[in-house]
Amino acid sequence: MQENIKLLIELQGTDSVIFRDKNFIDSMPSKLLSADQAFKEIQSLYEGGKQKVTLLEKKKKDKEKETEDINERIKKIKARASEIKTNKEYQAHLKEIEAIEKERYAIEDEILSIMEAVDAAGKELKAEEIKVKAEKDKVEAFKKQVEKEMAEAEGELSEKKARRSDIADKIDPDMYNEYMKVLKACGGLAVVEARDEICQGCNMNIPPQMFVEIKKNEEINQCPQCRRILYWKEVNE
């Protein structure tokens, strides 16, 4: 195989790794961001649940205070019993107590249902808390993994960049320029195999006479359709 073809194949291999690593590194910030967002969503559900429990507990306290006030009122009314002179007054006195007690029962019922709600919300909150913890662990593990993969990609990238400039220095400048043009025009793939008379870049047929030339791997041949540089993969290479 002609040296320039060998170099172009290696250059393409190196560039492909460089593109892959660059894409990988560029995609990481948004992946990290969406992992953080997923965590924040779960956390805000948890905070909402916490707030719900707090509000219910406050409501319960308010109702308990109301009960205390009522008890106080009943006590005061009962204290006035000694001042009662007539049966009519006594009946009115009983009625008054009865009415206030009714009020108290209603509030006590409310307290019971609030307690049930607190219980249910508390259980929900516990479940949310477990989810938050699990998600936090997951995000942290993901971040660690990303850090590791980023370091690997960055290491590989700088190694491949150095290798790339070594290769580029050895290639004929005109060929290198052509390679760069095609690379840009063809989405990062400038050198492809010609297999079964088909360009592996654009999948179009290669004219038979050209295919014969390509198989010799002596000259640079370009696909008549996509302009990619074609080579023949020799079996023993």
CA distance 84 to 92: 10
Q: At which residue do the structure tokens 């050209």 appear?
A: 210
Q: Which is nearer to Zn ion, 107 or 226 (CB)?
A: 226
**Which CB sits closer to Zn ion, 18 or 191?**
191
**Which residues in 82-101 contact Zn ion (CB under 5 A)?**
none
The site that binds Zn ion (CB under 5 A) totals a number of residues, namely 7
Closer to Zn ion by Cβ: residue 7 or 226: 226
- The distance of closest approach from Cβ of residue 17 to Zn ion in the complex, given in angstroms and rounded to an integer, is 22
Which DSSP state fits 205?
B
> What's the Cα-to-Cα distance from 166 to each of 1, 11, 171, rounded to whole Å?
19, 10, 9
Distance CA 180, CA 185 (A): 9
| By the rule CB under 5 A, 182 interacts with Zn ion | no
Least distance to Zn ion, CB of residue 225, Å: 4
> Please, how many CA atoms are within 13 Å of residue 37, restricted to the half-sphere of its CB?
6
- Cβ distance to Zn ion smaller for residue 42 or 186: 186
Inter-residue contact 128 to 49 (CB < 8 Å) = yes
- Does position 32 bind Zn ion by CB under 5 A? no
Judged by beta carbon, residue 153 or residue 183, the one nearer Zn ion is 183
Measured from the CB atom, the residue of 125 and 226 that comes closer to Zn ion is: 226
Nearest to 128 by CA among 203, 229, 41: 41
201 is a contact residue toward Zn ion (CB under 5 A): yes
Scanning 83-91, 127-135, 195-203, 213-221 for contacts with Zn ion by CB under 5 A, the matching segment is 195-203
3-class DSSP state of 191: strand
Distance from C-alpha of 172 to C-alpha of 66, rounded to nearest angstrom = 93
Residue 18 as a binder of Zn ion (CB under 5 A): the answer is no
Question: Closest separation between CB of residue 45 and Zn ion, Å?
Answer: 53
**How many DSSP H helices and E strands does the chain contain?**
4, 4
Residue 229's Cβ-count burial label (10 Å; 0-12, 13-18, 19+) is buried
* Token pair belonging to 12: 């393409």
199 contacts Zn ion (rule: CB under 5 A): yes
Binding to Zn ion (CB under 5 A) within 202-231 occurs at: 202, 223, 225-226, 228
- The least distance separating Zn ion from the CB of residue 224, rounded to whole angstroms, comes to 8
Q: What is the largest CA-CA distance in the chain?
A: 130
In angstroms, what is the minimal distance from the CB of 217 to Zn ion?
17
| Contacts with Zn ion, residue ranges (CB under 5 A) | 199, 201-202, 223, 225-226, 228
